[in-house]
Amino acid sequence: MTPPPFDLAAFQRHIAATYGSKDAVRGTAGTFMYLMEEVGELAEALREPGKHDLNGEFADCLAWLTSLAHLANVDLASATAKKYPGFCLRCGQTPCACVSKP
């Protein structure tokens, strides 16, 4: 049975409750290194998706990024809502109508 999906704030609370004490002992530098390792695994999965668990690698990257944000006292839901308010900050439209550079 698959649990219901989390919103970003609930996911951050879940990651903090589940792994926060281990993350605190590891610290930001160690947690960042785990994130970078997972980004490398995601890169491999994107190159050869048939040989890797692409969904799992995306989930791992998000989880480690969320752990790192928790350690840095960053509320990801608030930060993303502020940075990405539902429209393009350059042109003010959704979808973005900016001219893309090749």
Residue 66 sits in a domain whose CATH number is: 1.10.287.1080
pTM: 0.88
**Number of domains observed in the structure of the chain:** 1
The reported pLDDT for the residue numbered 40 is: 98
The reported pLDDT for the residue numbered 5 is: 84
The reported pLDDT for the residue numbered 102 is: 61
Cα–Cα distances in angstroms (integers) from residue 46 to residues 11, 34, 63, 65, 80, in the given order: 24, 18, 18, 18, 24
Q: Residue 30: helix, strand or coil by DSSP?
A: helix
Q: Which residue has the tokens 């590891």?
A: 26
How confident is the model over 61-92, as pLDDT tens digits? 999 999 999 999 999 999 999 999 999 999 99
Whole-number average pLDDT of the chain: 95
Residue range of the domain that includes 27: 8-83
* Dihedral class, residue 4 (left if φ above 0, else alpha if ψ from -120 to 50, else beta): beta
Token reading at 83? 């940075």
Residue 22 forms part of a structural domain: yes
